[in-house]
Chains A and B, each alone.
Chain A
Amino acid sequence: MDSSKFSFSRIGRSKLSGDLIFEVVVGFFALGIIVLAFLLFRELFVGSSLSRDTFGTGFLATSTWDPVNEVFGALPFIFGTLVSSFLALIIAVPFSIGIAVYLSELAPEKLKYPLSFTIELLAAVPSVIIGLWGIFILAPFIRDYLAPPLSTYLGFLPLFQGPMYGLSMLTGGVILAIMIIPITSSISREVIMTVPTHQREAALALGATGWETTRIAVLPYARSGIFGAVILGFGRAIGETMAVTMVIGNSPRISESLFSPSYTMASVIANEFVEATSNLYISSLVEIGLLLLLISVIINIIARVLVWRLLKVEGGGRV
Chain B
Amino acid sequence: MNRLKLILILILAGVLLAGCVIKPTEVQTTAQPIVPAVQPTKAPETVTLNGAGATFPYPLISKWSSEYNKMKPNVQINYQSVGSGAGIKQITARTVDFGASDAPLTEQEYANISSILQIPESIGAVVVAYNLPGVQSGVKLSGDVIADIFMGKITKWNDPRIVSLNPDIQFPEKEIIVAHRSDGSGTTFVFTDYLSAASPDWKSKVGKGKSVNWPAGLGGKGNEGVSGLLSQNPYAIGYIELAYAKLQNISYAYVRNKAGKFIEPTLESTASAAAGAVPTLPAGDASWSQVSIVDAPGDNSYPIGSFTYFLVYKDQIDQAKGKILAEFLWWAVHDGQKYSTDLLYVPLPAEVISLNEKTIKLMNYNGQPLIQDK
Interface residues of A (CB under 8 A from B): 1, 4, 8, 13, 16-17, 20-21, 24-25, 28, 31-32, 35-36, 39-40, 43, 64-69, 135-136, 139-140, 163, 165-167, 245-246, 249-252, 261, 263, 267, 270-278
Kindly state the separation between the CA atoms of A252 and B177 in the bound complex, as whole angstroms: 17
User: Residue among B186, B208, B211 with the most chain A CB within 10 A?
Assistant: B211
Report A-chain residues with C-beta under 8 Å of the C-beta of B9: 20-21, 24-25
Out of B16, B17, B211, name the residue touching A275 (CB < 8 Å): B211
> B108 near A: Cβ within 8 Å?
yes
> B175 near A: Cβ within 8 Å?
yes
Least CB distance, A12 to chain B, in whole angstroms:
11
In the complex, what residue of chain B is closest to A242 when comparing beta carbons? B221
> B332 near A: Cβ within 8 Å?
no
In the complex, what residue of chain A is closest to B219 when comparing beta carbons? A250
Report B-chain residues with C-beta under 8 Å of the C-beta of A272: 183-184, 211
> B225 near A: Cβ within 8 Å?
yes
Kindly state the separation between the CA atoms of A64 and B212 in the bound complex, as whole angstroms: 11
Check A163–B175 contact: CB distance below 8 A. Answer: yes
Check A16–B221 contact: CB distance below 8 A. Answer: no
Check A68–B207 contact: CB distance below 8 A. Answer: yes
Check B108–A68 contact: CB distance below 8 A. Answer: no
Check A246–B225 contact: CB distance below 8 A. Answer: yes
Evaluate whether A35 and B232 lie within 8 angstroms (CB atoms) in the complex, with A16-B2, A21-B9, A165-B177 already known. Answer: no
Report B-chain residues with C-beta under 8 Å of the C-beta of A249: 218-219
Check B25–A277 contact: CB distance below 8 A. Answer: no
Kindly state the separation between the CA atoms of A249 and B177 in the bound complex, as whole angstroms: 12
Least CB distance, B89 to chain A, in whole angstroms:
7
Check B228–A67 contact: CB distance below 8 A. Answer: no
Least CB distance, A226 to chain B, in whole angstroms:
35
27 pairs of residues in contact across A and B, judged by CB atoms under 8 Å: A4-B10, A13-B2, A16-B2, A16-B3, A20-B9, A21-B9, A24-B9, A66-B213, A67-B184, A67-B209, A69-B213, A135-B228, A139-B232, A163-B175, A165-B236, A167-B229, A245-B182, A245-B221, A246-B225, A263-B219, A271-B182, A271-B184, A272-B184, A274-B83, A275-B183, A275-B210, A277-B88
Report B-chain residues with C-beta under 8 Å of the C-beta of A263: 219
Check A35–B17 contact: CB distance below 8 A. Answer: yes
* Chain B 213-239 interface residues, beta-carbon cutoff 8 Å to A: 213-214, 217-221, 225, 228-229, 232-233, 236
Report B-chain residues with C-beta under 8 Å of the C-beta of A28: 13, 16-17
Report B-chain residues with C-beta under 8 Å of the C-beta of A13: 2-3
In the complex, what residue of chain A is closest to B210 when comparing beta carbons? A275
Least CB distance, B367 to chain A, in whole angstroms:
31
> B306 near A: Cβ within 8 Å?
no
Check A32–B17 contact: CB distance below 8 A. Answer: yes
Kindly state the separation between the CA atoms of A251 and B214 in the bound complex, as whole angstroms: 8
Report B-chain residues with C-beta under 8 Å of the C-beta of A36: 20, 24
Evaluate whether A275 and B175 lie within 8 angstroms (CB atoms) in the complex, with A39-B21, A250-B220 already known. Answer: no
Report A-chain residues with C-beta under 8 Å of the C-beta of B219: 249-251, 261, 263, 271
Check A274–B85 contact: CB distance below 8 A. Answer: yes
In the complex, what residue of chain B is closest to A168 when comparing beta carbons? B218
> B374 near A: Cβ within 8 Å?
no
> B95 near A: Cβ within 8 Å?
no
Evaluate whether A68 and B206 lie within 8 angstroms (CB atoms) in the complex, with A140-B232, A167-B229, A278-B108 already known. Answer: yes
Check A136–B218 contact: CB distance below 8 A. Answer: no
Interface residues of B (CB under 8 A from A): 2-3, 5-6, 9-10, 13-14, 16-17, 20-21, 24-25, 82-86, 88-89, 106, 108-109, 175, 177, 182-186, 206-214, 217-221, 225, 228-229, 232-233, 236
Kindly state the separation between the CA atoms of A248 and B107 in the bound complex, as whole angstroms: 35
Report A-chain residues with C-beta under 8 Å of the C-beta of B208: 68
Report A-chain residues with C-beta under 8 Å of the C-beta of B175: 163
Evaluate whether A250 and B182 lie within 8 angstroms (CB atoms) in the complex, with A28-B13, A65-B213, A275-B211 already known. Answer: yes
Least CB distance, B179 to chain A, in whole angstroms:
9
Report A-chain residues with C-beta under 8 Å of the C-beta of B232: 135-136, 139-140, 166
Kindly state the separation between the CA atoms of A21 and B21 in the bound complex, as whole angstroms: 22
Out of A65, A246, A274, name the residue touching B184 (CB < 8 Å): A274
Kindly state the separation between the CA atoms of A267 and B183 in the bound complex, as whole angstroms: 9
Report B-chain residues with C-beta under 8 Å of the C-beta of A21: 5, 9
Check B221–A271 contact: CB distance below 8 A. Answer: yes
Evaluate whether A277 and B20 lie within 8 angstroms (CB atoms) in the complex, with A66-B212, A67-B212, A163-B175 already known. Answer: no
Check B183–A69 contact: CB distance below 8 A. Answer: no
Check A39–B6 contact: CB distance below 8 A. Answer: no
Least CB distance, B172 to chain A, in whole angstroms:
15
Kindly state the separation between the CA atoms of A39 and B213 in the bound complex, as whole angstroms: 33
20 new A-B contacts, CB < 8 A, other than A165-B229, A252-B213, are A4-B10, A8-B6, A21-B9, A24-B9, A24-B10, A24-B13, A32-B17, A35-B20, A66-B213, A67-B212, A68-B207, A68-B213, A139-B232, A167-B218, A250-B218, A271-B211, A272-B183, A274-B83, A274-B85, A277-B210
Out of B82, B209, B228, B233, name the residue touching A68 (CB < 8 Å): B209
Out of A35, A136, A251, A275, name the residue touching B85 (CB < 8 Å): A275
Check B6–A20 contact: CB distance below 8 A. Answer: yes
Check A16–B6 contact: CB distance below 8 A. Answer: yes
